[in-house]
A and B are shown apart, each in its own frame.
Chain A
Amino acid sequence: MSVLLQGLLYIVLAPILGGLLSGFDRILTARIQSRVGPPILQPFYDVGKLFSKEQLLVLKSQSIFVIGLLISMIITGALFFAQQDFLIVMFVFSLSGVFLVLAAYQIGSPYSFVGAERELIQMLAYEPMILLIPVGVYMAIGSFSIQDILNSPDPLFFQLPGIFFGYLYVLTIKLRKGPFDLSASHHAHQELVKGITTEFSGPNLALIELAHWYENILLLGIIYIFFAPWPVVAVLVAIGTYALEIFVDNSFSRVKWDLLLKSSWWMTLILGGGNIVYLYLVKQFPALFSF
């Protein structure tokens, strides 16, 4: 299959898979809370409804940033699934986060503003770890190309276990799951944690949700590349991770922002940094490690 086709497939299939994943998420969450939960297609009903509603805008430029968010998210995912350069993927990925923050910042409503600040804090927390992944990948296989990662004979996981677990830690933030759902939580609709989406209604809110689905599929795709030579294992690990995140989401209460920031940076330093130092030593002084 040509890489271009894979990129196109992502653009078409990711919202469908992402929506189903979100439906599965809501059902599993409901079951954990001993409820029945909505039908699996509920996220599609929600987004469909939002598209059919009136667009209320505080500022016209609001929509531009939301469209920017969606487009940069789609480009990120398409580049990733078309097996392009990992570094570029990560930079465009950060851009999509910036669009969301700008969209909320410019409106000037206090809720939206606090939401944007919280989103920025979250970005500060996860960004170092996200950037360490390409670094680790380069040290392990000597290339940033995702194609090379997929073609490498051994799973990356064995060389980058620290990076993998560090990524899992910040994945909770990215997937907007508790205890790190400081901005745009999936629950708590009446609280400040929904601040970032306060001023978006109808179609714009639907686009934000759509971008979130694209993002979720990309994030699970990144888990996949750690186990790329074993596709079945990789898919199972990705699904298992998502289920684990839902479980964690329902088991812990939300933390304060300083704990979030400190703990993610420590995790990045210990797991991510430790792994990179270890790889460096192994590559530079192989004699030390040949017991």
Chain B
Amino acid sequence: MSVLSKSPWVIHYDGSSCNGCDIEVLAALMPRFDVERFGIINTGNPKHADIFLITGSINEQNIGIVKNIYEQMPNPKVVLALGICATSGGIFKDCYNVYGGVDKVIPVDVYVPGCAVRPEAIIDGVVKALGILEKKREQDCGGNCSCSGEGAC
């Protein structure tokens, strides 16, 4: 295990979530569970973050924002789609302004289903993401090259 997975900094963005998943994300990040034990910090700044937690589906309003946040994150990075809305559009799938899940815009590495997603599932998802982050780092020539980590670089 390299230092990368010992210090995962996350950024959380609320797409068009009903807030159910967000509350669970914040519950998982609260001091009671003390995620700082594992070096996890909720940065709120894409340029500092390694893990992108996104809840809710992608719609006309937030498509640009999600792309922007993703592009502002330095490599290696992973994206977690939290909740069934972020995974596939969920209950909002057929709305006139909804495109669908997060993977319609940016590559998603881990899908965490649930409505709302359980804090345990979020933690499981993050642990899985750490493994992917490691793999990407190896592929990514230590994060120094400019590929986005998908496929061969």
Q: Could you list which residues of chain A lie within 8 angstroms of chain B, going by C-beta atoms?
A: 26, 30, 33-39, 42, 44-46, 48-49, 52-56, 189-191, 194, 197-202, 205
A198 to chain B, nearest CB (A): 6
Q: How far is the CA of A20 from the CA of B130 in the complex (A)?
A: 25
**Within the assembled complex, what's the spacing in Å between the Cα atoms of A15 and B6?**
20
Docked pose: A46 CA to B8 CA in angstroms: 8
Q: A35-B36, A36-B34, A45-B39 are in contact. Are A190 and B44 (CB under 8 A)?
A: yes
Please name all residues of chain B whose beta carbon is closer than 8 Å to the beta carbon of A33 when the two chains form the complex.
31
* Complex CA distance for A57 and B152, rounded to whole angstroms: 24
Specify which of B2, B6, B45 is in contact with A198 (CB 8 Å cutoff).
B45
* Residues of A close to B2: CB separation below 8 A: 52
A38 touches B39 (CB 8 A): yes
Asked if A56 and B146 sit within 8 Å, CB to CB, the answer is: no
Closest to B33 in A: A35
Asked if A49 and B45 make an inter-chain contact with CB atoms under 8 angstroms apart, the answer reads no
Given A49-B6, A54-B144, A54-B146, the answer on whether A194 and B36 have CB atoms closer than 8 Å is no
The answer for the CA separation of A52 and B41 in the assembled complex, in Å, is 17
CA distance A278 to B136 in the complex (A): 64
Are B47 and A38 in contact, with the CB atoms below 8 A?
Answer: no
Residues of A within 8 A of B146 (CB): 54
> Which B residues lie at the A interface, using CB under 8 A?
2-4, 6-7, 31, 34, 36-39, 41-45, 47-48, 50, 72, 74-76, 137, 142-144, 146
Q: 12 other contacts beyond A36-B34, A54-B75, with CB at 8 A cut-off?
A: A34-B31, A37-B36, A38-B39, A44-B3, A46-B3, A49-B4, A52-B3, A54-B143, A189-B43, A189-B44, A201-B48, A202-B74
Chain A contacts for B76, CB-based, 8 A: 53-54
Evaluate contact between A35 and B6: CB separation under 8 angstroms: no
Q: Is the CB of B36 within 8 A of A26?
A: yes
Q: Are A55 and B74 in contact (CB under 8 A)?
A: yes
Is the beta-carbon distance between A35 and B31 smaller than 8 angstroms? yes
Indicate which residue in A30, A34, A56, A191 contacts B72 across the interface (CB closer than 8 Å): A56
**Closest chain B residue to A189, Cβ basis:** B43
How far in angstroms is the closest Cβ of chain B from A193? 11
A32 to chain B, nearest CB (A): 11
A-B contacts, 17 listed (Cβ < 8 Å): A30-B34, A30-B36, A36-B34, A38-B38, A42-B6, A45-B6, A46-B7, A48-B7, A52-B2, A52-B4, A54-B75, A54-B143, A55-B74, A189-B41, A189-B48, A194-B45, A198-B45
Contact residues in A for B143 (Cβ distance below 8 Å): 52-54, 202
A49 touches B42 (CB 8 A): no
* Interchain nearest-CB distance for A36 vs B (Å): 5
- Give complex CA distance A197, B42 in Å: 15
Tell me the nearest residue of chain B to A26, going by C-beta: B36
Q: How far is the CA of A234 from the CA of B145 in the complex (A)?
A: 48
> How far, in angstroms, from A202 to B75 measured CA to CA in the complex?
9
* Shortest Cβ-Cβ A-B pairs, 10 listed: A190-B44, A48-B3, A54-B74, A201-B47, A45-B6, A35-B34, A54-B75, A45-B7, A49-B7, A45-B3
- A52, B39: Cβ atoms under 8 Å? no
Most chain A C-beta atoms within 10 Å of own C-beta, residue among B3, B50, B142, B144: B3
Q: How far is the CA of A273 from the CA of B6 in the complex (A)?
A: 48
Complex Cα–Cα for A27 and B44 (A): 22
B39 pairs with A42, CB closer than 8 A: yes
In the bound complex, what is the Cα–Cα distance between A215 and B8 (angstroms)?
26
Q: CB within 8 A of B47: which of A39, A46, A190, A199?
A: A199
Q: How far is the CA of A269 from the CA of B41 in the complex (A)?
A: 40
How far, in angstroms, from A26 to B40 measured CA to CA in the complex?
13
